Structure 1
Amino acid sequence: MGPRRNIGSGCKTESQGVFSHRGSGHPGSQAMLLTGTVSSHSTVALTSSLATPKTMFDEGRRVAAAVGVGVLVGYWLWKKWEEAGEVVGLYIYPIKSGRAISLDWATAKVQGLAHNTLEDRSFMVVLENGAFVTGRQSGQLLRVKADLTRLFLTLSHPDYSSITIDFNAAISRATVISSKVWDRKVRGVDCGDEVAEWLSMVLFKGESKVRLIYKGDVMRINSTPRLPYYNFPQIRESDTVYYADTTAFLVTNQASLDDLNTRLVSSVTMAQFRPNIVVGGTATAFAEDSWVALKIGDVVLRKIKPCERCVFTTFSPDTGERHPTQEPLTTLKQYRRISEPRKLALRWNLHPVFGANFALDKEGDIEVGYKRMADLQESVEVQQKTDLQQRTQDFPALLSRSDSIVLPVDYKAIAVSGWPPI
C-alpha cells in the first residue's frame, strides 16, 4: 500500500465494491479465504459433523459450529484463494476491556493490530493486589478510551474529565507489577498514581483501588494459551499475545450479525462482540465457521478456533450496563451452541460461538476497503513442524472414517501434521 497516512483515532472510510471469483486474474477483495473450504460433512482444519439436527439446524439450514481441526497441514501449497468479502471494520483496544478505536488502517503484528503508537491490548487495569480487571467487574471500563502519542497518554470517559500524563516520565520509574490473565502470568510497568486515582474513581467510585500497567519492555513473551480441556493443535509456540485472553486476532462477519439481529427484539452492534477485523460484502452468515485461513492484502491469518462467547457480550459498550435479559447471549444460545466434539460441547454448553480467533502467519498492513490484485497462483505456506512424524501416523486411520476428509482439488497436501482425537 502507499505511504503511511497520519490517520487519527475514530476515522472511517466507506468500503468499496465486492468481487466474487475462483478463477485467476480477477481482482480480489481484502478478506480472502482458502479455496476448498469445508462442506457441512467434510473437514479441512475443522472437525466434521459438529451439529445434530436438534441443536444445530435452523430453518432447514445447517449451522456448522466449526470447532477444532480435522487435518492440519504441515506444508500446504494453495493454488487459489477464494474471496470471502472485504474488510469493513478495523478495531484496536489499547486497554484490555477498554473502548474500541475504529481505524482506517492498521499493521498486523504477531501480538495483534498496531496503529502508530497504539498496540492492541497493551495496557491492562489491575487491582492493588495484582488481580486483573475487565468489563465484567466494571462495565464502565468499556467506556474508557486511551490515546497514546510518543510523549503523552490521555484517558477519557464520557462522564468524566479526561486526564493526560507524561507517559515516558510515568513508565521511566520502572515500577513493575506482576499479574495474571486467567492462569497466565504477565507483567507490566505501572503508569503512575495520577492515572490510578482517575481510573479508581471512574470504575469503582474510589471504593476499590486500581493501577494501570503497560506492557513496556518487561512483558515477557506470552504464547497463546492452550485450553486445559481441549487441544487445538494449530496453536504454535510462536503465537504470542500481550494481555489478550486467547489469540491476537478476533475476526467477525457482518452477515452473521445481520442474521442475529433478525432474531432479536432490539438489535445490537458489532461493538458487543469486540472484534479486531470485520469482514463484510460477499460473506454469508456464519461463513466464518468454515474458514481455514484468511488472506488480507499481504497478511495471512491462521484460524485457531471459533470464539466461544460469555456474559461480556451482554454489556453495552455505550452505557457499560448489562442487558436485563442477557441479550444477545440468550438468543445465541438457542442456535449457536455446539454439540460435537462432546468434550468441548460440555465445557462450552453456556458459551455459544460467534466469530473466530486467529493467529498471524504473515505480517503486513490492512486497510478498510483497500483493494489490490490477488495473486491466485501464490503458494501460501502454512506449517507446523513439531512432531510431524508422530502426528502423521493417525492420518490413514482418520481417512477410513465415514466422515473422512475430502481434500479440495485446488491444493496439494505435502505433509500432514496431525488431527486432534476427540
Structure 2
Amino acid sequence: MSSNVPYYVTATVTAAGVLGSVYCAYRLYRQEKPVKLPEKWEQVGVLTEINVYPIKSCGRIMLETVECTNMGLRDGWLRDRVLMVVDDKDNFITARGFPELLAVQPTIRNSVLTLEHPNMEKLNVNLAEVVALQKPKKAIVWGDPVPVYDCGWEVSEWFSRLIDRSPLNFRLVYYASENCRKLRGTTNKAYKFGKEDTGALPDETSFNLVNEASVDDLNTRLSDCKVSTKNFRPNFVLKGAKPYDEDNWKFVKIGENVFEIIKPCLRCILTTIDPETGIRNANTEPLQELKKYRQLTDPEERKSGGSSPKMGLQMALRSGPGGKISLNDPIYVA
C-alpha cells in the first residue's frame, strides 16, 4: 500500500476488552478534557438496524456487525459518509436539491466501490488507486473547505449524466484526511462539540440514532403519507423504547460502546423525499407535522436551529475507537 494512504484508512485498530482501559486510551487520543461517563445504565431496547452511507445523500448499506471509530462506522474500506458529489465549483450537493442521488446504490468489496442506478450502467471505482495516485484538493461543505481526492473522470461523467445529462458538471470526491472535518461555527456556539466528534462528511456528527417508536408515533399524526426510519437516514435504529424518550437521554451505550448525545437531530426538506422513489411529498410531509410538536425550546438552540424540528439523536463516540457493534445488541441509556 502506498505511503500516501492515510492512517485512518489503513490502520487496524484493536478492540479493547474493558471499557475503562479503552476510555483511558481515548483520553490520550483526543487530548481534551475527558467526559465523565455514567456508572448506571438502563436498558431501553435493542439495535435493529446498522446503516452505513458511504456516499453522502446516496443509498445505504445494511450491516450485521460494524466497527466504531471517531470518524464514524467502518467495515474495512466501507466507511460512513466519506464520499460526496460536488458541482463544478467544488461545492457539495445533496438529495435535497438532487433527489436522483437517493437511488444510487453503492457497494464496497475490498477497496472497490461499485455504483448502481436503475437508469445507469454499473460502474466500479478503486478507492485504493484513488488514494495512491491522486493529490488532495479542496471541496466545500457548508461553507468550509475540506480535503478530498478526486475519484476520476469516468465516475464524474457517470454522475453528470445521471444528474443533468451534462458531460462533466459533477464529480465524486473522497475524504482525504485522518481528522474529523471542521464544523460550522454557528452550530458550535450552541452545542458542545469536540474536535473529534464531526466525522468526515456528515452534516454534524459521526453517529445518528433514531427511535423506531417515535417514527411510529409520527405516522399516527400523518394523514396523506406514511414514513419509515429510512426517511431519517440513521446509522442506528432502536426498538423497544417509548416514543420520544430520547429527549431525556444524555448518553447511549450499544453493547460496550458509549456515545454522548451532542444534540437532537434537526430535520430538513430531505425527510419529505421518498427514499425509494425520490418523489417529493406535495405537502412537504412529514416536516410540516413535525414542526407542530417537535420544536426546540431552548433559546440558544433556537438561535442555531431555528424552526427545524427534531427527530433522532446526533452522537459522538466516548468509549474509544475499535469497539464492535452487532444487530440485536442491547441499548442502554443514562
The reply to whether TM is greater than 0.5 is yes
Q: Which residue of 1 aligns with 2:262?
A: 304
1:16-66 Cα distance to aligned partner (Å, 9 max, x none):
xxxxxxxxxxxxxxxxxxxxxxxxxxxxxxxxxxxxxxxxxxxxxxxxxxx
State yes or no: 1:271 paired with 2:230.
yes
Shift of 1:151: 4.4
Q: Which residue of 2 aligns with 1:286?
A: 244
Q: Which residue of 2 aligns with 1:242?
A: 200
> Aligned runs of 1:1-400 on 2, under 5 Å?
76=36, 78-206=38-166, 209-215=169-175, 218-219=176-177, 221-223=179-181, 225=183, 227-228=185-186, 231-232=189-190, 234-265=192-223, 266-281=225-240, 283-338=241-296, 340-362=297-319, 363=321, 364-370=323-329
Cα distance in 1 between the residues matched to 2:134 and 2:37:
47
Shift of 1:298: 1.6
Cα distance in 2 between the residues matched to 1:151 and 1:100:
17
Shift of 1:158: 2.2
SS of structure 1 residue aligned to 2:186: coil
Shift of 1:207: 6.9
Q: Do 2:77 and 2:111's aligned partners in 1 also have CA atoms closer than 8 Å?
A: no
1:293-324 Cα distance to aligned partner (Å, 9 max, x none):
11111211011001111111111111112111
Cα distance in 1 between the residues matched to 2:212 and 2:191:
28
Residue identity opposite 1:278 in structure 2: V
SS of structure 2 residue aligned to 1:332: helix
Cα distance in 2 between the residues matched to 1:104 and 1:178:
34
Cα distance in 1 between the residues matched to 2:155 and 2:275:
22
Cα distance in 1 between the residues matched to 2:303 and 2:60:
32
Q: Do 1:310 and 1:351's aligned partners in 2 also have CA atoms closer than 8 Å?
A: yes
Q: Do 2:267 and 2:309's aligned partners in 1 also have CA atoms closer than 8 Å?
A: yes
Query: Using a 3 Å threshold, how does the CA distance of structure 1 residues 208 and 165 change in structure 2: closer, same or farther?
Result: closer
Cα distance in 2 between the residues matched to 1:332 and 1:185:
32
Q: Which residue of 2 aligns with 1:31?
A: none
Shift of 1:76: 3.6
Cα distance in 2 between the residues matched to 1:110 and 1:332:
31
Shift of 1:119: 0.2
Cα distance in 1 between the residues matched to 2:94 and 2:161:
15
Residue identity opposite 2:110 in structure 1: R
Query: Using a 3 Å threshold, how does the CA distance of structure 1 residues 167 and 342 change in structure 2: closer, same or farther?
Result: closer
Cα distance in 1 between the residues matched to 2:59 and 2:286:
19
1:319-362 Cα distance to aligned partner (Å, 9 max, x none):
11211110110110111112x32243255343011011000012
Moved more, 154-163 or 203-212: 203-212
Q: Which has the higher helix share?
A: 2
Residue identity opposite 2:169 in structure 1: K
Q: Do 1:125 and 1:132's aligned partners in 2 also have CA atoms closer than 8 Å?
A: yes
Cα distance in 1 between the residues matched to 2:177 and 2:254:
28
Q: TM-score, normalised by structure 2?
A: 0.82
Cα distance in 1 between the residues matched to 2:197 and 2:265:
17
What is the alpha-carbon root mean square deviation over aligned residues?
A: 2.4
Cα distance in 2 between the residues matched to 1:329 and 1:292:
25
In percent, how many aligned pairs have the same letter?
A: 34
Q: Do 2:106 and 2:116's aligned partners in 1 also have CA atoms closer than 8 Å?
A: yes
Shift of 1:237: 2.2
Q: TM-score, normalised by structure 1?
A: 0.66
Q: Do 1:171 and 1:192's aligned partners in 2 also have CA atoms closer than 8 Å?
A: no
| Count of aligned pairs | 299
Q: Do 2:157 and 2:168's aligned partners in 1 also have CA atoms closer than 8 Å?
A: no
Q: Do 1:251 and 1:276's aligned partners in 2 also have CA atoms closer than 8 Å?
A: yes
Rg comparison, structure with higher value? 1
Shift of 1:114: 1.0
**Structure 1 regions of 5+ residues with no counterpart?**
1-72, 377-407, 409-422
SS of structure 2 residue aligned to 1:321: coil
Residue identity opposite 2:49 in structure 1: G
Cα distance in 1 between the residues matched to 2:37 and 2:267:
33
Cα distance in 1 between the residues matched to 2:316 and 2:182:
9
**Runs of 4+, deviation exceeding 4 Å:** none
Residue identity opposite 1:182 in structure 2: W
Q: Do 2:268 and 2:308's aligned partners in 1 also have CA atoms closer than 8 Å?
A: yes
Residue identity opposite 2:316 in structure 1: A
